[in-house]
Amino acid sequence: MIATTHSDQTGPADSSKQEDIVRFPRGMVGFHNIKDYKLAPIDEAPPFMLLSAVDEPELAFIVVTASEVEANYHPKAAPWVQEALEIKNSDKPVYLLVVNLDGEGGGTVNLRGPVLINPRNGRGAQMALDETFPLRKALLQ
């Protein structure tokens, strides 16, 4: 299950600057029709960020940079991801992990469904990895 949250932090869609928008050509898993998301830090909870749909700001994912959780986490991007993100040899895509909150102050990250963003062009994709990666890894270990 993907963690979603309702937030007033995203503001109205027209307040987003174009450079803040990440375009997901195939959408996110389960939300293939929604292509544009805004990525913003959660000021009260660094290093977490909010990835919220531009046209539906009530749809938002809490994410964290993979290096914050798993230092050596760099799964190979599938060919379709490399193409969709227009990844070149010089690009350094950012790996984000979706956070699942447990309601008791803890949570997990999904290592099997990372979000990749190419900072050069603002394109993103969510990959579905095989079972060699855990679906849930505790945030605090």
- 6 located within any domain: no
pLDDT in tens, 77-126: 999 999 999 999 899 999 999 999 887 778 999 999 999 999 999 999 99
pLDDT in tens, 19-59: 589 999 999 999 999 999 999 999 999 999 999 999 998 99
User: One-letter amino acid identity for 49?
Assistant: M
* Long-range residue pairs from 89-92, CB within 8 A, at least 24 positions apart, any chain: 91/118, 91/119, 91/120, 92/119
CATH number at residue 106: 2.30.290.10
- 38 located within any domain: yes
Dihedral angle, C-alpha 126, 129, 134, 139, nearest 10 °:
-20
Q: How far apart are CA 94 and CA 117, in angstroms?
A: 5
Count of domains forming the chain: 1
Q: How far apart are CA 52 and CA 58, in angstroms?
A: 7
Q: In the structure encoding, which two tokens stand for residue 67, read together?
A: 């290096």
Mean pLDDT computed over 64-68: 95
Q: In the structure encoding, which two tokens stand for residue 36, read together?
A: 């544009």
Task: Identify the three-state secondary structure at position 111.
Answer: coil
* Domain carrying residue 24: 18-138
